[in-house]
């Protein structure tokens, strides 16, 4: 395959030749009988790595399955994903993980996180050494690891296995059944709120374990200023802590819930405008290491009631465009920094090989029109989930092709209407 006339991140226009799934040449003429993609007007970026998604297989396939999740990823320029273990049954055994990894999918790279505790119950640690043969990370995501003692054991064991532990930082006794951020909006709506301390206290616990033991921890979906302050201070002290956030946390605040629309319900919840700005600041200053989606599909029926709906929104098909629109187009960060946050850094955190666009690299590439504006229409998603906070939004930048290991796994047939 030859990709002709593509712009690289630095603006250079060149050709990219792919042979046997590897980039064999950049700027040189390849074989004449190769398949050709004319990428004039498009920018070639490394395939994105989303280190936090929920595929819902096994046991919850009315929400999503491995094929629909992989197709949604490909449509968003994502070539590698890490799936969380809160399935039914939980991904706490080799048999379950092997089953997940063997399911039909469109051709992306799927990695699986194994549970820290059996059944995600927090009562007993899984056989992490055995699971590490197939799992790329460990987490009880969906719930926090219940006790500090279990978290400390998990972090120290994972360090020996060269696997990251991903912390769902939430103090459940403070969250106490809340359904949105605790503040003026929750009081106005008359619904139970979740205080910022619910995240910050849990972040402080796991960061303190990392500080005292030297074992690394990765904090999932950070959403508040208090949590980011804890992480920033720890990093300044060389504590081995990393963290991620998601596009909805830098695009929206809790005022969106005035509409009583469950597509703005996720966990942790959308917080205040001060917190939204703090997330943007932490992206800008490097406190945040990765941008993920926390793609968490639910059925339309489940999301139909604002107060009873489960938490979770979809994001695989909008993550790059939303991030580009809110961070690059606004001048917060450069395109190169965005690629670091969405591709290189997540690969490093998962100890998987990054895929820069250079000779000898695996050909995981997204071709993107950085100038195309498009309206987010959930009914056109490949995901079974339709609940996105970006529904109806006009975003800038559109993935036109996604290539994984030299194979086209997505091609956008839709023309811009805006």
In this model, does residue 417 exceed pLDDT 50? Answer: no
pLDDT on residue 418: 36
- Segment 17-27 shows an average pLDDT of 96
Is the pLDDT at 392 greater than 90? The verdict is yes
Mean pLDDT taken over the chain: 96
d(CA 217, CA 239): 9
User: What's the rounded Cα separation, in Å, for the pair 288 and 266?
Assistant: 20
The residue assigned the tokens 């063997």 is: 102
Cα–Cα distance for residue pair 380/384, rounded to 1 Å: 10
The catalytic site residues sit at 294
Q: How confident is the model at residue 33 (pLDDT cuts 50, 70, 90)?
A: confident
Report field, pTM of the whole predicted structure over 0.75 = yes
Residue carrying the six token digits 């979740």: 194
In sequence order, what E strands does 64-164 have?
A: 78-83, 109-114, 137-139
pLDDT in tens, 49-108: 999 999 999 999 999 999 999 999 999 999 999 999 999 999 999 999 999 999 999 999
The domains found in the chain, sorted by start residue, are 46-357+372-394 (3.20.20.140)
């Amino acid at each position: 395959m030859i990709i002709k006339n593509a712009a690289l991140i630095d603006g250079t226009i060149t050709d990219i030749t792919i042979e046997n799934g590897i980039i064999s040449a950049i700027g040189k003429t390849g074989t004449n009988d190769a398949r050709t993609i004319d990428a004039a007007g498009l920018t070639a970026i490394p395939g994105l790595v989303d280190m936090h998604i929920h595929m819902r297989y096994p046991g919850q396939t009315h929400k999503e399955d491995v094929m629909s999740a992989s197709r949604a990823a490909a449509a968003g320029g994502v070539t590698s994903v890490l799936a969380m273990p809160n399935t039914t049954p939980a991904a706490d055994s080799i048999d379950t993980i092997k089953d997940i990894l063997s399911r039909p999918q469109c051709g992306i790279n799927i990695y699986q996180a194994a549970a820290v505790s059996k059944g995600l119950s927090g009562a007993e640690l899984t056989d992490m050494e055995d699971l590490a043969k197939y799992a790329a990370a460990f987490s009880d995501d969906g719930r926090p690891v219940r006790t500090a003692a279990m978290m400390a054991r998990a972090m120290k064991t994972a360090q020996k296995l060269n696997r990251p532990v991903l912390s769902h930082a939430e103090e459940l006794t403070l969250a106490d059944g809340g359904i949105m951020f605790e503040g003026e909006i929750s009081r106005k709506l008359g619904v139970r709120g979740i205080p910022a301390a619910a995240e910050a206290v849990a972040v402080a616990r796991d960061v303190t374990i990392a500080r005292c033991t030297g074992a690394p921890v990765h904090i999932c979906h950070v959403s508040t200023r208090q949590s980011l302050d804890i992480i920033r201070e720890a990093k300044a002290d060389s504590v081995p802590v990393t963290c991620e956030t998601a596009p909805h946390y830098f695009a929206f605040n809790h005022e969106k819930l005035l509409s009583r629309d469950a597509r703005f319900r996720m966990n942790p919840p959308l917080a205040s405008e001060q917190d939204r700005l703090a997330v943007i600041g932490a992206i800008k200053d490097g406190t945040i290491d990765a941008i993920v989606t926390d793609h968490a599909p639910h059925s339309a029926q489940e999301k139909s009631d604002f107060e009873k709906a489960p938490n979770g929104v979809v994001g695989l098909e909008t993550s790059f465009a939303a991030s580009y629109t809110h961070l690059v187009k606004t001048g917060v960060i450069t395109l190169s920094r965005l690629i670091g946050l969405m591709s290189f850094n997540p690969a490093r955190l998962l100890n998987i090989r990054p895929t820069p666009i250079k000779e000898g690299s695996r050909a995981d590439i997204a071709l993107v029109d950085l100038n195309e504006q498009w309206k987010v229409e959930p009914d056109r998603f490949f995901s079974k989930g339709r609940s996105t906070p970006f529904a109806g939004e006009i975003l800038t930048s559109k993935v036109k092709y996604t290539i994984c290991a030299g194979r086209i796994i997505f091609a956008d047939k839709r023309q811009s209407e805006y």
